[in-house]
Structure 1
Amino acid sequence: MTQGAKATLLEVIALGPRDAEHAEAGGADRLELVTDMASDGLTPPDSVVEAVLAATDLPVRVMLRDGASFRPRDLATLTDTAKRLADAGAREFVFGFLTEDGAIDVGACRALADELAGLKWTFHRAVDHARDVLAAHAALVDLGCDTVLTAGHASGVAAGADLLRKLAVREAGPRVLVGGGLRAEQIPALREAGLDAFHVGSGVRTAGWDEPVDVAAVRRWAALTA
């Protein structure tokens, strides 16, 4: 890493404390904690959040999402959940919502952000499903998130490469965390474009989501993205 350059980041999806331990042992820098990957990740139970926070020294970003769509089913309840998890020790979160017409739902996001004032959060891949993805990214500049998880396209990193390159050279906005169908062979070109944060889930689970994170696989990704 050159002097003054930002350290690279490898974030690994965790479903529980065993995943957290394995990801940390493999050299991950941060965790995204979720449940129900069949719905692309929902808010985990309180007991799981507490167990993961006790199992690792890594930063843990906890998903706040109560349904498979990118609209909150019950924003008031989700806000209460956010407060409860913050009171239990969670200090970083992941959320993001779209309106019915496919724009960033600024009101819903700010409701959660205000509840979590002072805490870090990621706007998740809802942004890739916006009606105008580039405009959606622009709307995040003043929203308060420090990170946006994006593939640049709803179909994944391969389809979103051009937009990812544009995001890499913009002057303002949250840090771009590349994820969504990310493959190891894509990393060199993404690094060359100036992207330095990467998010993996199935890529570190050689036996699928029913088995824990594979330590050796995390090590390979950590070496690749360093």
Structure 2
Amino acid sequence: MSKRAVLEVIALDAEDAIAAQAGGADRLELVTDMAADGLTPAVATVAEIRGAVDISLRVMLRLSGGFGAGDVSRVVRAAGEMRDTGAEEFVLGFLHTDGEVDLRAVERVVGALDGCRWTFHRAIDHAADRDALRKQLADLPGLDTYLTAGSAAGVDEGLPVLLAEASRAGDPGYEPQLLVGGGLRLDHVPRLRAAGIDAFHIGGAARPEGWGVPVSAEAVAEWRRALDLG
């Protein structure tokens, strides 16, 4: 039996976090403003969530929609504020308009994280060259995860890419864990698990009634059961 799969759930507030943990989530991604696909939450929100649950938290470092870094000094400042409030894990990823990774911006922000673990998020699904991006980031400290659907259009379209990348696990640039998310459904799980993928990320799937209502512990538990069945 393969090892227990990681289940990461998007949380907007402490109520979400408590429900996600109750349902069996292993980790939370903390964001605000899902209309912009998730931006950096308020420091007070992160502190409240940290006080409400004891599972791992990854805090989004993204100040505006799109994948441009914007004012990198503001992102660095936000990272420092989050670290001061106790955050130890992060989510980030910046591209130039041509789809090339903005290596200078990523390096500056990662420098401010001082060795903290972090996820490169779905910017990889919008990259001009996924393989080149992975190799450019391969030596950055703390990078242990890629959040990806395999395609900007979601897991349905990206499945062949996800399976191909899973088969390269351990190759240069492919050491970080694949965390699959973005249009992910329960019926995708068996094929992904069979390919050795062991980390899954849900947002809307944890809220069957939509983003206007909190995370459903029951919905998270359904995912937990499906992942544990493998």
Using structure 2 for the length normalisation, give the TM-score. Answer: 0.94
Q: How does 1:45-60 map to 2 (within 5 A)?
A: 45-60=42-57
Give deviations 1:117-154, integer Å, cap 9, x for gaps: 12110000001001123332343322331001001110
Counterpart of 1:68, as a letter, is: G
Counterpart of 2:35, as a letter, is: A
Question: Given the alignment, which residue of 21, 24, 48 partners 1:24?
Answer: 21
- Aligned partner of 1:176 in structure 2 is 178
- Aligned partner of 1:167 in structure 2 is 165
1-side partners of 2:152 and 2:87: how far apart?
29
The 1:112/1:42 distance shift into structure 2, 3 A limit, reads same
Question: Given the alignment, which residue of 127, 131, 152 partners 2:150?
Answer: 152
Give 1:59 shift: 0.4
The 1:33/1:204 distance shift into structure 2, 3 A limit, reads same
Question: Given the alignment, which residue of 69, 74, 84 partners 2:66?
Answer: 69
Please tell me the root mean square deviation across aligned C-alpha atoms, in Å. 1.1
CA contact 1:168–1:195 (8 Å) conserved in 2? yes
- Aligned partner of 2:84 in structure 1 is 87
Unaligned regions of 5+ residues in structure 1, if any? none
Question: Given the alignment, which residue of 185, 200, 212 partners 1:198?
Answer: 200
2-side partners of 1:177 and 1:215: how far apart?
21
Counterpart of 1:209, as a letter, is: W
- Aligned partner of 1:13 in structure 2 is 10
2-side partners of 1:160 and 1:135: how far apart?
18
Give 1:207 shift: 1.2
Indicate the SS of the match to 2:161. helix
Give 1:84 shift: 1.1
Give 1:162 shift: 1.0
- Aligned partner of 1:132 in structure 2 is 129
Give 1:166 shift: 1.4
2-side partners of 1:72 and 1:118: how far apart?
20
Indicate the SS of the match to 1:146. strand
After superposing the two structures, state which structure 1 stretch, 105-114 or 56-65, moved more.
Answer: 105-114
2-side partners of 1:13 and 1:199: how far apart?
8
2-side partners of 1:41 and 1:47: how far apart?
17
1-side partners of 2:183 and 2:138: how far apart?
25
Give 1:98 shift: 0.6
Counterpart of 2:154, as a letter, is: G
Counterpart of 2:210, as a letter, is: G
Using structure 1 for the length normalisation, give the TM-score. Answer: 0.95
CA contact 1:133–1:152 (8 Å) conserved in 2? no
